């Protein structure tokens, strides 16, 4: 009997943010195909003998091509194995979960989606930034930082600049100067507060803040790289009052570890 493949959201980095259902799937799996940004601690919960297959992706370098990942999901499922595809954040938020689910459906393999907490909400929360607030933000958008030129893109930038209170931008550090330029030229105030949350929800979390006009220069000066969540909106002002996660302690732990 063919088992259903479970596409599991591992959450944003803190292993404690995995859902109960997601953790159960990991514990029962015979094959786990996992991404780069999941917490390695989650794999400690895999049962003895489970096959662990790394599918991590770096910018411009994929350990396994997406076509290979799709093939392996179908292959192991049709061999009667309990297969988990463990993805950072949520499978359907910039995780190609929709593509993998479609491939499984096309090949007659049953599947189940187990949602996870996405970093566009969790990373700001750990930095003391609510993406919505009654006084500051009635709307927020989850946006990819990989954007291209074109007429349709121009329309999207105009909508993002003028129609959304809070922007949570994934995978955008490399394109931050371009993002900054397009938002400003489409009417977003250069003085709009902005933040970058690096390795959000993990012990390595670090947050830098500025304005839309200054955040690209600050990111470069501070050496902020991916993975980082970009947050743009008035809600960033609340960080000073709502910050609760001890980033200083986390940075101290890392510095001590580096010296050992």
Active-site amino acid positions: 35, 57, 171
CA distance 217 to 243: 23
Cβ contact 85:91 at 8 Å? yes
d(CA 53, CA 31): 8
C-alpha distances (whole Å) from 34 to each of 79, 85, 87 are: 19, 6, 6
Three-state secondary structure call for residue 34:
strand
| Tokens (6 digits) for 215 | 């955040």
Helix, strand, coil percentages in the chain from 3-state DSSP, rounded to 5: 40, 20, 40
Decide: 33 and 86 in contact? Cβ < 8 Å: yes
Burial readout 220-233 (b: 16 or more C-beta within 10 A, e: otherwise): eeeebebbbbbbbb
From CA 79, how far away is CA 73, in angstroms rounded? 10
Q: Is 72 exposed, middle or buried (0-12, 13-18, 19+ CB in 10 A)?
A: middle
């Amino acid at each position: 009997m063919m088992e259903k493949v479970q596409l599991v959201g591992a959450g944003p980095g803190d292993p404690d943010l995995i859902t109960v259902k997601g953790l159960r799937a990991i514990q029962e799996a015979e094959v786990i195909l996992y991404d780069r940004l999941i917490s390695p601690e989650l794999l400690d919960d895999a049962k003895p003998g489970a096959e662990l297959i790394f599918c991590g992706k770096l910018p411009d370098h994929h350990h396994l091509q997406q076509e290979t990942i799709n093939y392996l999901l179908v292959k192991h499922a049709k061999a009667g194995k309990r297969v988990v595809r463990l993805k950072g954040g949520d499978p359907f938020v910039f995780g190609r979960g929709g593509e993998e689910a479609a491939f499984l459906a096309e090949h007659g393999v049953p599947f189940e989606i187990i949602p996870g907490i996405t970093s566009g909400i969790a990373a700001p929360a750990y930095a003391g930034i609510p993406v919505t607030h009654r006084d500051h933000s009635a709307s927020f958008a989850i946006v990819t930082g990989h954007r291209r030129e074109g007429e349709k893109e121009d329309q999207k930038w105009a909508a993002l600049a003028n129609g959304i209170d809070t922007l949570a931008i994934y995978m955008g550090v490399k394109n931050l100067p371009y993002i900054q330029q397009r938002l400003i030229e489409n009417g977003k105030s250069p003085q709009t507060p902005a933040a970058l949350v690096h390795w959000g929800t993990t012990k390595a979390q670090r947050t830098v803040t500025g304005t839309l006009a200054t955040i690209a220069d600050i990111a470069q000066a501070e050496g902020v790289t991916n993975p980082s969540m970009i947050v743009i909106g008035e809600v960033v002002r609340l960080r000073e009052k709502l910050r609760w996660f001890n980033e200083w302690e986390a940075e101290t732990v890392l510095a001590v570890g580096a010296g050992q």
